[in-house]
Structure 1
Amino acid sequence: MNPLSKDDQNELKINPIHEFLWALTGLMLTIFGTFVEVFFVIPQGTNLEDLNPTSLGVTYQLVGVFLTGCLGGKNAGAYAQIAYLVLGLFKLPVFYQGGSFEYLEQPSFGYILGFIPGAWLCGYLAIPGKRRLEVFVYAIFFGLLVVHLCGILYLVGYTFITPLFGNELDPNYLTDGINLYTVSPFFSQLTLIPVIAIIAFVIRLFLFY
């Protein structure tokens, strides 16, 4: 159940031109973020030279996915990811390992497909109401769950369909895939949620909506 009141939900209407601009911005952020790894710095002493950057094992890709939803709404979020998907499938190297229709054969492709409903849900939950940090947090969280749900469903289908074409898979292929693509990166992705929420809150604060 959406906790926003009816007045809150009717408060904000996104102009189609603004939706297009946010979608374009989201597309660019998603492409750029795909190739930029997330690091955090652990101080080892008082000297700046002793700073130890440590990778979280994820990229900033999800920042583009969910920030678009928080700022531009459900349509802008979905449009940005549809454009990202189309560009990648038509051989533009916007995916992490390039891009082409052969990416459909990647067991992780379902997570990319999940960007579309994930961004849509995030925008649906975040944009109608007033500017609230906690709303952004739960909108991003549920959007992330949708991404992983789509990814797992695709992985299940891939695991059962691939052997029909003569490709034998390890008996632990499905569990290993879920561990690799969902379990392992999930905590690191959770740490991005407050960052995205704060950025969205500040931007909407300055833009007065």
Structure 2
Amino acid sequence: MSINRRARRPRTANPQKPRRQNERRLSFPHQLAWAAIGLVLTIGGTFIEASATNFPWQWSEQGVVVIPLKISFQIAAVLFVGCMGGAKAAALSQVVYVLLGLIGLPIFTQGGGPGYIQELTFGYILGFIPGAWICGSLALRAKAQLESLAFSCLCGLAMIHLTGITYLAGLQLLSPIGEGLMALIGDIIRYSVHFFPRQLVLVCTVSVLSFCLRRIMFY
């Protein structure tokens, strides 16, 4: 007489699904704090001119030479809060920044007010919102690495310029105040091609600073 025995499956101590290791989330108070910090830094960075120095290995021969980049720290603040606070905090800080500027506070480069939507550079300011979101989403996917933070900043910067160029196209090609295709090309060169290489210096600076701070803060 044979007895059929059913194979018993080993019981797992924890039936819950393992949490993904590459998800790193900040608590709501931390996100809110970083949103406030990002707002303050963006407003302050709008009026502070960024500078760079010559290469460190040249300091012994030439000394420290300060080179003005002729751009502000505005975009650096946007990318920094993305790397440190994540997508929600970064995007929230820029939404508040845009709204405060549109209601009349002189926190944009040329002032503020609802009429600022007709400025050619307003599209780049709008681009702070998706740019900050993308940078924050990529930056907090895993533990801080210099390469991943630099890639996050670069993607955020690219989104800012993409939004700005799209806004320029709308003003020049669809709006009655537009001047046509040649004017659009000139504006793209003036506001994107001219500034993008200089803003890469800010990407490097923000990446290194964020990497050091996140290592200190253990996330």
Same structural fold, with TM-score higher than 0.5 when normalized by the shorter chain: yes
Partners of 2:62 and 2:178 lie apart in 1 by 54
Report matched runs for 1:104-183 at 5 Å. 104-163=117-176, 167=177, 169=179, 172-183=182-193
* Residue identity in the other structure for 1:37: E
Q: Distance in 2 between matches of 1:74 and 1:171?
A: 35
Letter in 2 for 1:31: I
Alignment gaps of 5+ in structure 1 = 1-5
Gap change, CA 1:113 and 1:168, over 3 Å in 2? closer
- Matching of residue 62 in structure 1 with residue 75 in structure 2: yes
Structure label with greater radius of gyration: 2
Partner of residue 40, structure 1: 52
Offset at residue 172 of structure 1 (A): 2.3
Q: Does 1:208 align with 2:198?
A: no
Which residue identity lines up with residue 29 of structure 1 in the other structure? L
Q: State the match for 1:192 in structure 2.
A: 202
Aligned residues: 198
RMSD over aligned Cα atoms: 1.9
Cα separation, 2, equivalents of 1:94 and 1:131: 32
Q: Is the Cα–Cα contact under 8 Å of residues 8 and 130 in structure 1 kept in the other structure?
A: no
TM-score, normalisation: structure 2: 0.84
Identity of aligned residues (%): 37
Unaligned runs of 5+ in 2: 1-18
Q: What's the counterpart of residue 3 of structure 1?
A: none
Structure 1 runs of 4+ aligned residues shifted over 2 Å read: 6-10, 40-48, 51-54, 167-172
Letter of the structure 2 residue corresponding to residue 39 of structure 1: S
- Read off the aligned partner of 2:84 and give its amino acid letter: L
SS at match of 2:141: coil
Q: Give how far 1:77 is off.
A: 0.6
> Aligned partners of 1:62, 1:54: CA distance in 2, in Å?
18
Q: What's the offset of the Cα at 1:54?
A: 2.6
SS at match of 1:156: helix
Q: Does the alignment pair 1:96 with 2:109?
A: yes
Deviation readout 1:81-131 (Å, 9 max, x if unpaired): 001000100110110111101110001111000000000000000112111
Q: Deviations along 1:50-87, whole A, 9 cap, x unmatched?
A: x6533212111111101101111000010000010001
